Chain A
Amino acid sequence: MISTKDVSMRFGGLTAVSDLNIEIQKNEIVGLIGPNGAGKTTAFNTITGVYKPTEGRVIFKGRDITGQKPHAITRLGIARTFQNIRLWKDMDVLENVLVACHLRMDVGVAASTLHLPGYRAKERRSREFAMSLLESVGLADQAREAATSLPYGKQRRLEIVRALATEPALLLLDEPAAGMNPQESLELMDFIGSIRDRYDLTILLIEHHMQVVMGVCSRMYVLDYGVTIAHGTPDEIRRDPKVIEAYLGVD
């Protein structure tokens, strides 16, 4: 599904990610963990085109997508959420999702402004799809509320819904459980498992805390100072001395 080949990202003298080699099969849920500043978000940014990697290639569905624009990469089927929530604050919940639906509507500015019949049909379908997505996370009742007025946990779920609205094949989640209590985190992980099945997704998931992801991930990669220090099943990772050391140094 997705693989990175020796991807490195340098900012001036700092190497945020070095020689990252990730390989994910269809329908897998894979974790990307590591202490603060390990380069996890930067890895996401190189995959999604926010940064062009200094070195290396990103291959998605057998196709080299290195250095493509973020919106083009999203069109190809990669969607993401942000660690520091980035909802559009002057829009309500439904509109936030509808913007993401726009990508698959394929309507130009003229058809859109003139409200041509083709556009109307697509708009109606988008609304239905958006509402069904919101329903699945229990946000349908708040569809017309300002997105940023939602409590934190719901904002995170809205971000996931928004990403789903682009109809991705690969979903990248950047610390989706941040700021949630353990109970909420567990529910979220269940939810992530369920959307994988319902929408036929492949998921790469960043988490700061190992325990949270152990349950849902089939495999995980561990970064520390940009270097991949381990990868394997949760059990292997738990026992890996390098991982223990990296985490003892931090947590």
Chain B
Amino acid sequence: MELSTFFQQLTNALSLGSLYALIAIGYTMVYGILRLINFAHGDVFMLGAYFAFYAATSLAMPWWVAFIVAIGLTAMFGMGLERVAYRPLRDSPKISVMISAIGASFLIENVGIVVFGGRPKSFPSIPLFDTVVHLGPVSVLSVSLFIPVITAAILVALLWIVNGTKTGLAMRAVSTDLDAARLMAIDVNRTISMTFGIGSLLAGLGGIMWTMKYPQLNPLMGVMPGLKCFIAAVIGGIGNIPGAVLGGFLLGVLEIMIVAFLPELTGYRDAFAFVLLIVVLLVKPSGLLGKHQAVKV
């Protein structure tokens, strides 16, 4: 393999990895606070992309307005989802909550098929993201360069929110012990709502970036990225924000590099993530950066 090809693949890998990371953060935040796999996260991601699509096409908004509107709507949607599908089950057995999450995911997907139509749509081209940039021997879409920057900025902002603000303190308190947090007069519902809002906002942003990179929308586009990013979050140590970023990068790099260097494995690409997941769960179930917690008896 030539060096230039290697760098080309590395750039692709970093761009995909940071996109995974962006979505994985949302998973990790929700899991961290509610111990719940938000199966619908991937579908929220899909909604973000469609909202932006309709805002930009049907409503003819300038792209950046469309993006802001879409991200805002996605965040609100996420908060609504929590209210309707998860909050009533907060004291129910875990299985019920998981079933509700799966149900919500299927509901969103199928409403998506009914409302948006099953046929893929393509996003109108936005020159800022669509130009091919040449960096020496490597040529990439400009959006691939934006994504890592956005992810890095988000990571910094989130670490600040979680570790440096009152809301973040409340989040950490609720995630450590929900009942104790309630006793300390923390508004648990509001905190959980905020977390969903932020997580969904990131999913929406991720969805939009995804369609900039792969400009095709379909109602099931969130399923695979959703699963993979959840896996990324588990690999990094679920509940841990830097872990989600690490997991996302790892997964992105692995997927691109294996296919680049071992092309005969291309058909198995969608299985890599799951194999990696299972290996990590067996070797270090708490993930790379997660802390092990013993069950109290």
A residues neighboring B (CB under 8 Å): 11, 41, 45, 50-51, 82
Contacts and interface: CB of A to CB of B under 8 A. Distances in A.
Contacts of A51: 294
A45 B297 CA distance: 8
Interface string B280-297: 000000000000001001
Interface of B: 294, 297
6 contacts: A11-B294, A41-B297, A45-B297, A50-B297, A51-B294, A82-B297
Contacts of A11: 294
A82 B296 CA distance: 12
Name B's interface SS.
loop
Contacts of A41: 297
A169 to B, nearest CB: 22
B292 to A, nearest CB: 9
Contacts of B297: 41, 45, 50, 82
Contacts of A50: 297
Nearest to A82: B297
Nearest to A42: B297
A50 B294 CA distance: 11
A89 to B, nearest CB: 11
A199 to B, nearest CB: 25
Nearest to B294: A11
A51 B297 CA distance: 10
A24 B297 CA distance: 24
A45 B294 CA distance: 12
A41 B297 CA distance: 8
A209 to B, nearest CB: 22
A51 B294 CA distance: 9
Query: What 4 A-B pairs have minimum CB-CB distances, sorted nearest first?
Result: A50-B297, A45-B297, A11-B294, A82-B297
Contacts of B294: 11, 51
Nearest to A41: B297
A89 B263 CA distance: 54
A42 to B, nearest CB: 9
A70 to B, nearest CB: 10
Contacts of A82: 297
A191 B187 CA distance: 48
B8 to A, nearest CB: 46
A34 B238 CA distance: 37
